[in-house]
């Protein structure tokens, strides 16, 4: 009788050895981030306590409104939607702020009535999948809301003051912003959180964005990630401020992806702040440290930091540089994530000003429409090119005197090659660089224009030289025959 389980185990391991399941992947996807309360109001009947003139109050957006606006997101070209949390929230305000943002959960297995119902969420998932889009749902695993009933009902689920004081890892065992801090090593908490993931997976969710992983117990996270991976659920961790080394560590620990905050900071300083491109090159140069560089989440801004466009005093300059940054983002290896409104260069300072209500075509200025058109075009160019969407990426050694203003890289997949040029100069300029200096070989190539629409950028190759004519503050992509 004891031999049967052994035989079964042997057969299972043999089957496993034959076909290891592929790792969940979002390479080639473009994610659009939505905060449902601030996106689209499709049902006035659930607008309890809504006050749109108060940036800290509920604004009325909901799942029905989001579902109705899916064609907008699809027209932009995104292939996946990330929703910030939709859980049932604490009903009270804290710090004069309502829980419109979703990060103060009271019940992890229900939808807040402001957003609609679980059936509304099911309707959204069905519509998204019907449009060929994936759904990424925000999961909170570190805390409950301040006023959640569970805090009084299950005090043993939370780290006490004494446990926080005694801890050698305060990031993990002490409250984040004073929020009731879940003790994941408590068996009941562990079981609750693991089954929460199963519950939302059961609603058809394709991927989880895990909030505040810096503050969650590591052994629990690893167990959670192993279960997600086995179920085919892609995982995206938010480690606030993560650089390449942190992303690499957590990819090795089981996350498919983390947000690369260091690239966000470098792009804000270089592109919006007008500083040299050296910071960006320094981040991209570390790509080789990543176990899975194609999965890393790349972004310009999100709901926790000031808007990318806020980096300029002038609206026209902010729009021009956001267009430049959107094009830049679409040339990089990784998974681009666009926060609602960045595609029209929405402005706004730190929370809650960065969460202004989304505006659609009927409310745009011609300049905002132009930014949207450039974003849509850049996404389309990326998706049409295997090299840009999933190809390898090689940073080229630009001569030192040019490094502030010029960043060059190649993307390559199969026989398809493109050369990407980021130009940070304040004026149009022509560059001639020896191919040998860049580590490239090439046959002569007649004048080639950038793949991005409405852009006067040109490349040619002759006599061992690469010639580039680039507009001020912009990114161009060229199909090329150059080889490394």
User: Which residues contact Ca ion by CB under 5 A?
Assistant: 41, 43, 46-47, 60, 62, 142, 181, 215
CA dihedral over 428, 449, 411, 483, signed as positive or negative: negative
Least Cβ distance, residue 286 to Ca ion (angstroms): 28
Cross-strand pairs, 477: 420
- If the CB atoms of residues 186 and 203 are measured against Ca ion, the closer one turns out to be 186
| Minimum CB distance to Ca ion, residue 51 (Å) | 13
Nearest CA-CA partner of 54 in 312, 270, 291, 355? 355
How many Cβ atoms from other residues are within 10 Å of residue 93's Cβ? 17
Q: How many CB atoms sit inside 10 A of residue 26's CB? A: 25
The region that residue 260 occupies, defined by phi over 0 for left and psi between -120 and 50 for alpha, beta otherwise, is beta
DSSP per residue, 448-468: EE-SSTT---EEEEETTEEEE
| H or E element in which residue 411 lies | strand 406-413
Q: Which two tokens stand for residue 218?
A: 């590591």
| Pick 43 or 404: Cβ nearer Ca ion | 43
Our CB check for Ca ion shows the closer of 246 and 342 to be: 246
Shortest distance, position 164 Cβ to Ca ion, whole Å:
9
- What the block records as the tokens of 88 is 């049932």
Q: Which is nearer to Ca ion, 103 or 234 (CB)?
A: 103
Q: Which is nearer to Ca ion, 47 or 373 (CB)?
A: 47
Least distance in angstroms from the C-beta of 264 to Ca ion: 24
Give the nearer residue to Ca ion in terms of CB position, either 31 or 63: 63
Nearest distance from C-beta of residue 186 to Ca ion, angstroms: 12
Q: Give the residue with the Cβ less far from Ca ion, 62 or 405.
A: 62
What's the closest the beta carbon of residue 46 comes to Ca ion, in angstroms?
A: 5
Question: H helices within 47-186, ranges in order?
Answer: 63-68, 70-76, 118-130, 149-153, 161-166, 170-173
Nearer to Ca ion, 43 or 54 (CB): 43
- How many angstroms separate the CA atoms of 218 and 237, rounded? 12
Residue 198 C-beta: closest distance to Ca ion, Å: 21
Q: Which is nearer to Ca ion, 181 or 211 (CB)?
A: 181
Do residues 72 and 130 lie in contact, with contact meaning Cβ atoms separated by under 8 Å? no
What is the rounded distance in angstroms from the CA atom of residue 425 to the CA atom of residue 398? 15
Using the minimum distance from each CB to Ca ion, give the nearer residue, 53 or 430. 53
- What tokens appear for 446 in the block? 């007649």
Residue 258 CB, nearest approach to Ca ion (Å): 18
Comparison of 12 and 160: residue with beta carbon closer to Ca ion: 160
Taking the complex as a whole, the smallest distance from the CB of residue 245 to Ca ion amounts, in Å, to 22
Nearest alpha carbon to residue 321 among 376, 363, 259, 270: 270
Minimum distance of Ca ion from residue 185's CB (angstroms):
11
Task: Count the Cβ atoms, other than its own, within 10 Å of residue 92.
Answer: 13
Which of these, 93, 92, 91, 88, lies nearest to 108 by C-alpha position?
88
Across 243-280, b (16+ Cβ under 10 Å) vs e yields bbebbbebbeebbbbbbbbbbbbbbbbbbbeeebbbbb
Question: Distances from the Cα of 396 to the Cαs of 189, 200, 282, 440, 459, in angstroms?
Answer: 49, 43, 12, 9, 16
Shortest gap between Cβ of 181 and Ca ion (angstroms)? Answer: 4
């Amino acid at each position: 009788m004891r031999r049967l389980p052994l035989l079964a185990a042997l057969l299972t391991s043999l089957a496993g050895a034959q076909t290891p399941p592929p790792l969940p992947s979002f390479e080639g996807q473009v994610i659009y981030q939505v905060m449902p309360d601030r996106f689209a109001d499709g049902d006035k009947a659930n607008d309890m306590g809504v006050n749109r003139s108060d940036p800290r109050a509920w604004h009325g957006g909901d799942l029905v409104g989001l579902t109705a606006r899916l064609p907008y997101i699809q027209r932009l070209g995104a292939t996946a939607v990330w929703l910030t949390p939709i859980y049932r929230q604490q009903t009270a305000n804290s710090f004069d702020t309502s829980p419109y943002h979703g990060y103060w959960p009271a019940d992890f297995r229900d939808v807040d009535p402001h957003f609609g119902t679980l059936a509304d969420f099911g309707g959204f998932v069905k519509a998204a999948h019907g449009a060929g889009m994936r759904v990424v749902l925000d999961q909170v695993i570190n805390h409950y809301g301040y006023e959640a009933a569970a805090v009084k009902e299950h005090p043993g689920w939370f780290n006490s003051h004494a446990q926080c004081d005694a801890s050698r890892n305060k990031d993990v065992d002490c409250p984040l912003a004073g929020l009731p801090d879940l003790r994941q090593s408590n068996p009941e908490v562990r079981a609750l959180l693991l089954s929460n993931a199963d519950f939302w997976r059961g609603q058809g969710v394709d991927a989880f964005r895990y909030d505040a992983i810096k503050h969650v117990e590591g052994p629990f996270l690893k167990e959670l990630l192993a279960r997600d991976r086995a179920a085919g659920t892609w995982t995206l961790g938010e480690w606030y401020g993560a650089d390449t080394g942190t992303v690499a560590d957590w990819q090795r620990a089981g996350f498919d992806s983390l947000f690369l905050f260091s690239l966000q900071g470098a792009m804000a300083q270089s592109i919006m702040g007008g500083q040299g491109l050296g910071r960006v090159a320094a981040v991209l140069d570390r790509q080789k440290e990543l176990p899975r560089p194609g999965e890393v989440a790349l972004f310009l801004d999100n709901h926790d930091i000031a808007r990318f466009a806020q980096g300029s005093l002038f609206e026209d300059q902010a729009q021009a540089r956001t267009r430049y940054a959107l094009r830049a983002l679409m040339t990089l290896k990784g998974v681009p994530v666009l926060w609602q409104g960045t595609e029209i260069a929405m402005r706004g300072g730190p929370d809650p000003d960065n969460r202004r209500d989304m505006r659609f075509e009927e409310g745009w200025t011609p300049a905002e429409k132009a930014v949207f058109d450039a974003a849509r075009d850049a996404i389309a160019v990326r998706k049409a090119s295997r090299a840009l969407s999933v190809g390898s990426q090689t940073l080229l050694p630009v001569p030192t005197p040019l490094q502030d203003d010029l960043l060059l890289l190649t993307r390559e997949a199969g026989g398809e090659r493109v050369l990407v040029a980021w130009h940070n100069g304040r004026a149009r300029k022509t560059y001639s660089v020896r191919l040998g200096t860049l580590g490239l070989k090439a046959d002569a190539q007649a004048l080639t224009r950038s793949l991005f629409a409405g852009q006067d950028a040109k490349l040619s190759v002759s006599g061992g030289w690469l010639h580039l004519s680039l507009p001020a503050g912009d990114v161009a992509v060229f199909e090329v025959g150059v080889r490394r």
